[in-house]
Structure 1
Amino acid sequence: MPLLTTYPPLQLDNALTPVSVNRVEINGAFRTRRSFLDPIFKPLVDHGPNSTTTIGDVVDRINVASEKLAQLGVFQEDIRVSIAQALDSPHPTAESLNLTFGVQEKGLLVLSAGTSVGNTEGSAVTHLQLRNILGGAETLTLDASTGTRTRAAYQAALSTPLPSHPTLRLSLEGQRSSVAKPWASHTENLTAGLLRLAWPTPALDKHALVLSTTHRQITSLAPSASPTLRAEAGDSLKTALSHTFTRDRRSGPFPFLPERGYLLRTVSELAGWGPLKGDVSFAKSEVELAAVTPLTTTGGITVSGTFRAGALLPLPFGYGLSGPAAPSRISDRFQLGGPTDVRVFQLGGLGPHDGRDAVGGDVYAAGGVSVTAPLPRVGAASPLRAQAFVSGGRLVALGKGGMAGAVGEMGRGWPSMAAGVGLVYAHPIGRFELNFGLPLVVRRGEEGRKGLQLGVGITFM
């Protein structure tokens, strides 16, 4: 909420008093274009000839304009608004007001270096950001990182809010990375260009629509690489349109350790079909559901459950749905297993293998249940917890039976499962887990691991 002041003292508590707004001034927006700000403040002064505006209406519109300014990300949060009687009005009355918004722009340059956590990986990151570079809340971001698996990654993004919609952002991005994938005996090099449109809903759900072209290269094969992997080595080009929806209603005293609420996330991708070019063509979807609830009113004991599922359906090239479709590639197939999803299994330990190489699958379902509780003598005020968990899943490839056959295969026999106990630490940059577990069910060809397992990430099953 903005800080409101009035001069001379006005009766703002009488919300039904008719008023008019004579003038709106913005002080402190030195680098921001007036043409960009005008649509934000236009509702304060643009009324129909027969409309009646009250003090309550003006205060509501001030709050809306202030919230839009804050959402731009280029102004400090302490926005001040002064309301004064419009003595310069042609017919000065107590009902004619001048509004003055006092803002302070954030610095143009942000440069930082530090660490970040992704699933199964920690990275050192250098971050450079230029804000409001053209006076329309544009942001140019440059990132470079290296990590435990990512040998090098670079990203550049130029984003801008669309007029009158501070939270509707359009960005043009370029990415380049080289990631070692020892569970499949290769390194994958990626070079991508993306056009992203992101927006939240009034209920704070998040949407992102992305058009991307990505060149993938499977290289640096290990001497022991399997025939399946050697057949897929080399270059691949994918053009795809994807949509991500996220509804996160989880909350708690520590980041990455929620105590109540639920999460719903869906990801849909269409690649290589219709006008989309490349040498792969498929439709791919994933859904994730998670919920957590406290078991006691005090004490920090919670139970949480997560379910994830996904399917990849190869499609023929062109605009038809009939005709032969090329098999999926390892760069696009799902991988399952590891300390952040099905615990007590190796990275990529579930699903189809050729020798020791995890070659991925086209259909999967996985889930887990865990109970967390504060440690004795540490208490609920600490982000350190003890946990007990059970997790499991199946990952299969499409065969001659197609999608129906793969879904049927998912239900045959027990899924791979594991159980264990461990410690959880919720750090502001990510979640750390040290678990001791035992595989309960390991299907033929899959790789479980008895004993200790360290997990580092931001999302866990």
Structure 2
Amino acid sequence: MASSEDSNETIFETLRKGVDPKIQEEKLREAAARQDAVNAKERRRLAELIGSNSTLPCTISSIRVLNANHTRRSFIERIFKPIISANKERPFTFAEAIREVSIGADKLHRYDIFHQPISLTIDQPSRTNPFSTPTDVDIYLTVREKSRLRLRTGTDIGNAEGSGYANLLWRNIFGGAETLNLNASLGTRTRSSYQAALEVPISAGSNADLRGEIGGLASSTQNGFASHEEVLKGAWAKARWFGESGARHEFGYNATWRQVTGLASTASPTVRGDAGDSFKSSITHTWIKDRRDNSVIPTRGYFTKSILELAGWGPLQGDVAFAKSEIQTQGALPIPIPGVDGDSGVSLTTGFRAGLLYPLSIGFDFDNKATPSRINDRFQIGGPADVRGFRLSGLGPHDGADAVGGDLYAAGSANLLFPIPRVGLDRPFRFQAFINGGRLLALKGPETTEKGIKSGEAVRKSLSSTIQELGNGLPSIAAGIGLVYAHPAARLELNFTLPLVLRKGEDARKGLQFGIGINML
């Protein structure tokens, strides 16, 4: 089949010769269609061959991967050597041999260093080989390596911020599916952000989904909602894998130096009290299960994500200590319309999020006072990509004009999506009507002092009174209608919002609101 590079070369050649490139492109499409037909015929022939010989004994004498010029031989052998070794104990059936090799080819694909499809060819060893038997077969896998270097630059606009970015991806650095990812961005809110991450397979051959990652970051972000700038410098180490149910796990350690600086002249006493340096040493676990048909505009399925973080407790040290948990869920359901056959394009999406930050004592001083939460670690909710109808971080505790965040929150939404008249269902545009709301609170109670919560018992009493307050009265609520565009990388929304319930001190937004995000509420 002609590649895109071949097509471009042919077009340039025909232009030089004065031939209409449109005619040549049509010929190329016809040739590609003929090649597709040949490939389909070969696949049918292979299926018939397997079907008619599925129970015959078969011994794999060799497995060779062709065109893997930048991939280490030892890396490939760790994937396929167990297959060859296994059939020495007893011969495979022909169907078993194809299945085992296909599993190995799927592992190759999941390392993200080869293009799909990976073609498979079966042949018999040379008749001149005195050690071959009639049941021996040679397996050939023909691959095409992905580009090792990829550089992307561009601009992002959304969430009250504009930025320019550059991304360098270096695949298969040492020939064992290692990946180096470098990111740099400059923007109006995130003034600068630099990240470097190296990802390597932990168990090459046996588990293609078990990966390790080490990385570092340096960033400076202007948090106008709280009159300060936050500077971060840190490093992390992570391990990722998939569980038996298909859920993704990520376990890691983070060490981050944080600085609250660049205070505005109008900064509140709360922000000024948290100004300066802090060091967070924490372990995290993230669990994700995604069963949606589309992550940007789902019409059916569900999504669940939980994040657990433990900082400063026991051997972790640092100068902040807390246990922090957060859960996010989303469900989507198609809605049939009477008189409409098949997919109506109308769907209902509901979402819910909740989080808790629980103060702890630093180190091994388990019975002494717990450290109060800092503005760096508290939750912030509200905004066009979060609880719509409110300004960025517009919900929750405020000190004057500053949103200082909270330790306990809950938020939910319901979105009705329906197609735009005269626009096909396959187009990435939808109308939506929504209602959403949330509540964000700081831990409070009679035991709270200016220097923090003194004991574990006081923390529990404060948490109990705060949870009771969470259910006291209606949360802040907003409703609206808007236009949704499902870009392959993110979801873009332009909504007209109307706040319905607003608590004292919170910051709502009535009128047009533009948002961009991935997992929006």
TM-score scaled by length of structure 2:
0.83
Q: Structure 2 residue aligned with 1:342, among 370, 384, 387?
A: 387
Cα displacement string for residues 322-378 of structure 1 (whole angstroms, at most 9, x for unaligned residues):
321110000100011111221111111111110010100000001011111122333
- The answer as to 2:291 corresponding to 1:249 is yes
- Alpha carbons 1:119, 1:458 under 8 Å: kept: no
- Alpha carbons 2:158, 2:515 under 8 Å: kept: no
- The answer as to 2:85 corresponding to 1:12 is no
**Shift of the alpha carbon at 1:9?**
12
**Shift of the alpha carbon at 1:5?**
8.5
Q: For residue 44 of structure 1, what is the amino acid of its counterpart?
A: I
Aligned residues: 458
User: 1:18/1:117 Cα in 2 relative to 1: closer, same or farther (>3 Å)?
Assistant: farther
Cα displacement string for residues 41-98 of structure 1 (whole angstroms, at most 9, x for unaligned residues):
0232112765341111110111111011111111222322221122365443331111
Q: For residue 392 of structure 2, what is the amino acid of its counterpart?
A: L
Q: For residue 292 of structure 2, what is the amino acid of its counterpart?
A: R
- Alpha carbons 2:59, 2:87 under 8 Å: kept: no
Q: Structure 2 residue aligned with 1:391, among 410, 429, 436?
A: 436
Q: Which runs of structure 2 are paired with 1:4-403 in the superposition (5 Å)? A: 11-13=49-51, 14-47=53-86, 50-87=89-126, 90-116=130-156, 121-162=161-202, 163-164=204-205, 165-252=207-294, 256-296=296-336, 297-319=342-364, 321-400=366-445, 401-403=461-463
Question: Which sits farther off after the overlay, 368-377 or 391-400?
Answer: 368-377
- For 1:9 and 1:410, the matched residues in 2 are separated by 61
- Alpha carbons 1:338, 1:344 under 8 Å: kept: yes
Question: Which sits farther off after the overlay, 78-87 or 361-370?
Answer: 78-87
Higher Cα Rg: structure 1 or 2? Answer: 2
- Alpha carbons 2:298, 2:332 under 8 Å: kept: yes
- For 1:444 and 1:26, the matched residues in 2 are separated by 67
Q: Structure 1 residue aligned with 2:510, among 431, 450, 454?
A: 450
- For 2:76 and 2:88, the matched residues in 1 are separated by 24
- Alpha carbons 1:23, 1:98 under 8 Å: kept: yes
- For 2:144 and 2:343, the matched residues in 1 are separated by 42
User: 1:148/1:457 Cα in 2 relative to 1: closer, same or farther (>3 Å)?
Assistant: farther
- Paired-residue identity, %: 45
User: 1:8/1:224 Cα in 2 relative to 1: closer, same or farther (>3 Å)?
Assistant: closer
Question: Which sits farther off after the overlay, 301-310 or 417-426?
Answer: 417-426
Q: Secondary structure at the match of 2:167?
A: strand
**Shift of the alpha carbon at 1:166?**
2.2
Q: For residue 213 of structure 1, what is the amino acid of its counterpart?
A: A
Higher strand share: 1
Q: Secondary structure at the match of 1:41?
A: helix
Cα displacement string for residues 395-449 of structure 1 (whole angstroms, at most 9, x for unaligned residues):
1111133211211110111111111112212222321212222211111111112
User: 1:72/1:236 Cα in 2 relative to 1: closer, same or farther (>3 Å)?
Assistant: same
Q: Secondary structure at the match of 1:250?
A: coil
User: 1:249/1:119 Cα in 2 relative to 1: closer, same or farther (>3 Å)?
Assistant: farther
- For 2:212 and 2:47, the matched residues in 1 are separated by 43
- For 2:413 and 2:78, the matched residues in 1 are separated by 48
- Alpha carbons 1:8, 1:84 under 8 Å: kept: no
**Shift of the alpha carbon at 1:228?**
0.6
Q: Secondary structure at the match of 2:50?
A: coil
User: 1:348/1:22 Cα in 2 relative to 1: closer, same or farther (>3 Å)?
Assistant: same
Q: Secondary structure at the match of 2:353?
A: strand
Q: Secondary structure at the match of 2:82?
A: helix
- Aligned residues: CA RMSD: 2.3
Return 5+ residue gaps in structure 1 as ranges. Answer: none
- For 2:110 and 2:160, the matched residues in 1 are separated by 32
Q: Secondary structure at the match of 2:108?
A: helix
- Alpha carbons 1:179, 1:188 under 8 Å: kept: yes
- Alpha carbons 1:351, 1:361 under 8 Å: kept: yes
**Shift of the alpha carbon at 1:6?**
13
Q: For residue 281 of structure 1, what is the amino acid of its counterpart?
A: A
Q: Secondary structure at the match of 1:19?
A: strand
- For 1:170 and 1:117, the matched residues in 2 are separated by 32
- Alpha carbons 1:338, 1:347 under 8 Å: kept: yes
Q: For residue 430 of structure 2, what is the amino acid of its counterpart?
A: R
User: 1:56/1:193 Cα in 2 relative to 1: closer, same or farther (>3 Å)?
Assistant: same
Question: Which sits farther off after the overlay, 434-443 or 301-310?
Answer: 434-443
- The answer as to 2:471 corresponding to 1:411 is yes
Q: Secondary structure at the match of 1:210?
A: strand
Q: For residue 42 of structure 1, what is the amino acid of its counterpart?
A: K
User: 1:41/1:446 Cα in 2 relative to 1: closer, same or farther (>3 Å)?
Assistant: same
- Alpha carbons 2:59, 2:88 under 8 Å: kept: no
- For 1:327 and 1:384, the matched residues in 2 are separated by 46
Q: For residue 129 of structure 1, what is the amino acid of its counterpart?
A: L
Q: Secondary structure at the match of 1:47?
A: helix
- For 1:416 and 1:126, the matched residues in 2 are separated by 39
User: 1:184/1:441 Cα in 2 relative to 1: closer, same or farther (>3 Å)?
Assistant: same
Question: Which sits farther off after the overlay, 200-209 or 423-432?
Answer: 200-209
**Shift of the alpha carbon at 1:120?**
5.4
- Alpha carbons 1:118, 1:458 under 8 Å: kept: no
- For 1:6 and 1:351, the matched residues in 2 are separated by 62
**Shift of the alpha carbon at 1:193?**
0.3
**Shift of the alpha carbon at 1:307?**
0.6
- For 1:212 and 1:37, the matched residues in 2 are separated by 33
Q: For residue 184 of structure 1, what is the amino acid of its counterpart?
A: A
Question: Which sits farther off after the overlay, 47-56 or 28-37?
Answer: 47-56
